[in-house]
Chains A and B, each alone.
Chain A
Amino acid sequence: MGEFFDFFLNGLGLGAIFAFIALGYTMVYGIIKLINFAHGEFFMVGAYVGYFTLRDLDIERVDLPQPFPIMLDFLVAILFAALAAGILAVLTERLAYRPVRKAGRIAALLTAVGVSLLLQNVARQVWTANVRPFPDPKIFRTLDEVDGPAGTNLYADRDFETSDGDVVVETQLVVSQGETVDPAKRTQLEADGVEEVYERVTLSPKAVQNYVLLALLLFAPILWLLVKKTRMGKAMRAASEDADAARLMGININLVVAATFFIGAFVAGIGGVAYIATYGKVDPMIGFLPGLKAFVAAVIGGIGSIPGAILGGLILGVTESVLPWMLQKMGWDAAFAWKDAIAFAFLIVVLVVKPTGILGKPMREKV
């Protein structure tokens, strides 16, 4: 039972990431009936921006008691990731989708596929195709603060000159766990130019899972309020139900569409940071499979429905985690290798049983 619960929670954490991405799919589809295949790439770019924020900005240096610096570090990374993804989405909509909006849904869909491939390849050129490990948050210490036996490994970033004469920064283990920083060690460190060392905080997967779930729990109601209660939300609903009528009733559809893209990608950017923290890596292809699965989640939940996207994401995550575990228990050793196939098979089953998705509204035709 305990083991089941672990897989269940793991699935919820995973599902929360799908939900974060699925929300944007569903919102954009709801308004302009476009399956925005580039949405996974907004997520990927968000993840990269989050990665660079965590790696390079050293926000952890802020002078507050632990764990606030690390929390702040993540909050800023999430904010930057979300903003970057949102801005990218607005630009994409303006430059690529709006010009073809009147050309029909197939043209828009193909444009979306094109934008997706374009962003993937640009990311590969700009950030290389290398898989980058997740930058663990750091706790900085001056040498004075580490006098005595070290409780953990301590690292320092040092400049090295390569054979080409370039200067690169490299992380080096300078004090191993258990080693004592005595005057001799200290002199040696100072001679090497080390003034400051840091501890790397490895996040436990379970803690990350819980935080991701918590973030979803916090964010979902905000989004719901935004759509149900604000004027922009009402305009979004009006636009999704009849855009032409909305225009002629004084609603600026272009603004509504841009806002929808922004909000959807903003949320995906949050998911991007959640993803790299969960999987411990980032690369230019991370938008592809999670993006596709989030789309599946949106369809399972009923595309166009915001609660549906969240429910669909969670259900897909749990299915992907618990179902292979159960199958493995039943004697199928390779079940986990088949988890993606299982997820997509699940989509087919749901669509056969309920073609509009779990919370999707059946089409209501006007008489």
Chain B
Amino acid sequence: MGGLFSTKAVTKKYGGLTAVSEVSIDLDPGELVGVIGPNGAGKTTLFNLITGADTCTTGTVHFGGENVTGLRDFERARLGMARTFQNIRLWPLMTALDNVRTVYQGARGNGGLGAVLRTPGFRRSEAEIRERAMTLLERMGLQEHAELIAVDLPYGEQRKLEICRALALEPTLLLLDEPAAGMNPTEKSDLMHTVDQLRSELDLTVLLIEHDMKFVMGICERIYVLDHGEEIARGTPAEIRENPKVIEAYLGGSD
């Protein structure tokens, strides 16, 4: 193994349909890797298998040297596996700050009796959480929106807030599901820069799904290409760009 994260031949079947078929991915610490593929290629399903939102039909998932296939989604999250969603899944009616804070709090247990009695220890830990949450928001340039209700934030900021929330898990692996979807080119290049920066500053390993080829090619060191649930190619952006299978999958095949 050796790497930080790997899937070994993970497969997901829904009845007769195979959404993901024997996909094996390896990530070394600090890598920034992309998963691309046409619509319906199984990218989001793969993310669901990785995070435990969905269970593998066969195959295993390894994280930090451990087989996590049997762990539940929230347990994997607590091990340091955080994700964002293709269609934004913030807690829409909470403030931006609370969206981030809740994750910190969740990871720290509920505080038990201390929370009810508001003991000094509990207050200190609350104050610390608030500070950390604010630092994260600042890092993403959201500090002025801290007290705004999440759903009232502009679209691009909601995407950033989702990344903030994921970072509150203090992850080692960050999974981004189409982080640039719906953004304009300026916002995309900003985001590209931010993701790269976060990775080096926070020692993150990043796996991202993206539609926008330019975005993926510009940021990822390695790329996996899925089509119809199967891996059809892997390699550096340059290799992928030249790969005839990839070109066929993207420029239209039989479907």
A: residues with CB less than 8 A from B are 225-226, 229-232, 234-235, 237-238, 241-242, 244-253, 361, 364, 366-367
Q: How far is the CA of A249 from the CA of B51 in the complex (A)?
A: 10
Interface pick from B4-12, B109-117, B202-210, B231-239: B109-117
CB distance from A264 to the nearest CB of B (A): 17
CB distance from B208 to the nearest CB of A (A): 16
Hey, which chain B residues are within 8 Å of A242, CB to CB? 89-92
Name the residue of chain A whose CB is nearest to the CB of B171.
Answer: A250
Name the residue of chain A whose CB is nearest to the CB of B89.
Answer: A245
Hey, which chain B residues are within 8 Å of A226, CB to CB? 116
Convert B132-164 into 0s and 1s, putting 1 for each residue whose CB lies closer than 8 angstroms to a CB of A: 000000000000000000010001000000000
Name the residue of chain B whose CB is nearest to the CB of A229.
Answer: B115
Name the residue of chain B whose CB is nearest to the CB of A230.
Answer: B115
A-B interface pairs (CB < 8 A), number:
96
Q: How far is the CA of A232 from the CA of B109 in the complex (A)?
A: 8
Given contacts A249-B165, A249-B169, A250-B78, A238 and B111 within 8 Å (CB-CB) = no
B102 with A238: CB separation less than 8 A: yes
Convert B73-115 into 0s and 1s, putting 1 for each residue whose CB lies closer than 8 angstroms to a CB of A: 1100110001101011111111000100111011111110001
Q: How far is the CA of A232 from the CA of B112 in the complex (A)?
A: 9
Q: How far is the CA of A8 from the CA of B101 in the complex (A)?
A: 43
Taking CB atoms and an 8 Å cut-off, the chain B residues in 4-52 that contact chain A are 51
B77 with A250: CB separation less than 8 A: yes
Name the residue of chain B whose CB is nearest to the CB of A250.
Answer: B77
B106 interface neighbour in A235, A241, A364, A366, Cβ under 8 Å: A235
B127 CB-CB contact with A under 8 Å: no
Pick the most buried of B93, B105, B107, B116: most chain A CB atoms within 10 A of its CB: B105
Name the residue of chain A whose CB is nearest to the CB of B77.
Answer: A250
Q: How far is the CA of A226 from the CA of B113 in the complex (A)?
A: 11
B53 CB-CB contact with A under 8 Å: yes
Q: How far is the CA of A361 from the CA of B93 in the complex (A)?
A: 10
Please give the number of chain B residues whose Cβ is less than 8 angstroms from any Cβ of chain A in the complex: 38
Given contacts A248-B53, A250-B107, A252-B74, 20 further A-B contacts (CB under 8 A): A225-B116, A230-B110, A230-B111, A230-B116, A231-B102, A231-B105, A231-B115, A235-B102, A235-B110, A238-B91, A241-B93, A245-B89, A249-B77, A249-B106, A249-B165, A250-B74, A250-B78, A361-B93, A366-B92, A366-B151
Hey, which chain A residues are within 8 Å of B85, CB to CB? 245
Q: How far is the CA of A241 from the CA of B149 in the complex (A)?
A: 13
Q: How far is the CA of A225 from the CA of B53 in the complex (A)?
A: 31
B110 interface neighbour in A231, A244, A361, A367, Cβ under 8 Å: A231
Hey, which chain B residues are within 8 Å of A364, CB to CB? 92-93, 151
Given contacts A248-B83, A249-B77, A250-B78, A241 and B108 within 8 Å (CB-CB) = no
Hey, which chain A residues are within 8 Å of B88, CB to CB? 366
CB distance from B46 to the nearest CB of A (A): 14
CB distance from B160 to the nearest CB of A (A): 16
Can you offer 7 A-B residue contacts whose CB atoms are under 8 A? A225-B116, A230-B116, A231-B106, A231-B115, A245-B91, A249-B77, A250-B103
Q: How far is the CA of A225 from the CA of B116 in the complex (A)?
A: 8
Given contacts A245-B91, A250-B74, A234 and B151 within 8 Å (CB-CB) = no
Pick the most buried of B77, B87, B98, B106: most chain A CB atoms within 10 A of its CB: B106
Task: Decide if the interface of chain A is mainly helix, strand, loop or mixed.
Answer: helix
Hey, which chain B residues are within 8 Å of A244, CB to CB? 53, 89
B91 with A237: CB separation less than 8 A: yes
B94 with A241: CB separation less than 8 A: yes
A238 with B94: CB separation less than 8 A: yes
Taking CB atoms and an 8 Å cut-off, the chain B residues in 52-74 that contact chain A are 53, 72-74
B77 with A247: CB separation less than 8 A: yes
Given contacts A237-B94, A364-B92, A366-B88, A249 and B53 within 8 Å (CB-CB) = no
Pick the most buried of B74, B93, B109: most chain A CB atoms within 10 A of its CB: B74
A248 with B73: CB separation less than 8 A: yes
Q: Nearest 6 A-B pairs (CB), nearest first?
A: A250-B77, A245-B89, A231-B105, A241-B91, A230-B115, A232-B110
B91 with A251: CB separation less than 8 A: no
Name the residue of chain A whose CB is nearest to the CB of B168.
Answer: A249
Hey, which chain A residues are within 8 Å of B151, CB to CB? 364, 366
Q: How far is the CA of A252 from the CA of B165 in the complex (A)?
A: 16
Q: How far is the CA of A253 from the CA of B77 in the complex (A)?
A: 13
Hey, which chain A residues are within 8 Å of B101, CB to CB? 234
B155 with A367: CB separation less than 8 A: yes
Q: How far is the CA of A230 from the CA of B103 in the complex (A)?
A: 13
B109 with A247: CB separation less than 8 A: no
Q: How far is the CA of A248 from the CA of B151 in the complex (A)?
A: 19
A251 with B74: CB separation less than 8 A: yes
Q: How far is the CA of A250 from the CA of B166 in the complex (A)?
A: 10
Hey, which chain B residues are within 8 Å of A248, CB to CB? 51, 53, 73-74, 77, 82-83
